[in-house]
Amino acid sequence: EKEIKSLELTFELTVATEDKSSQTIELIPGGSSIPVSKENAIRYVHLVAHRRLNMETAIQTNAFLHGFRDLIPASWVRLFSPYELQKVISGDDAIQGFDVKSLKSVMLYGGGYHPSQVVIQWFWEVIDDMTPEQKSKFLKFVTSCSRQPLLGFGALVPLPCIHQVRLPEFEHDTDDRQLRLPTSATCMHLLKLPNYKSKEILRSKLLYAVESGAGFELS
């Protein structure tokens, strides 16, 4: 409650105008005099989202729908669920996953890694052996998106990178279950991969990290 009040928000919003200036509008009548509190915070969020996502983009959205319906009748689109329509438009990654060769061709390496090293060779062999579902999960683990970019992996900014995490010698001698997991920084498309001593350990640790569905807690 104190944290919300410290923001000093009211039911009003600053929006851009056509002449590129800005103005403050009320989200509800008398909103400028209604402070946001714990009790009404959800309503405030809904009103801001409605303004930003629906009202401010209404002209562009209507123009898109008008053009789209000129090409494809709305009655045809209604035959599909959202999930089915996505498959019709974008294809089904669950059948073959992403293009591994395309990702490999743009991948960068850091921290001492080089594509000629055996650990990197193991890595790509493990990726090749993954199921389509595991490949999608891996892509989401590294980039936060489970699908290949429309313009290819070369369109990613920054380009994806595998960075070496050097394991001390004493860690190599410990139980494999105690070894650290691969982590990622999705905003930089960065995979932080320890230099495991065998392909099987690399496979086990990478799949565990990818399948866990964890977020920043693994970073």
Q: Which residues are catalytic?
A: 187
Would you mind telling me the total number of residues written for the chain in this entry?
219
Long-range Cβ contacts of 40-48 (<8 Å, 24+ apart): 40/11, 41/4, 44/9, 44/11, 47/11, 48/13
CA nearest to 127, candidates 114, 109, 141, 113: 141
Q: Which residue is it, tokens 């070894």?
A: 179
- SS3 label, residue 209: helix
What distance in Å separates the CA atoms of residue 100 and residue 103, rounded to the nearest whole number?
5
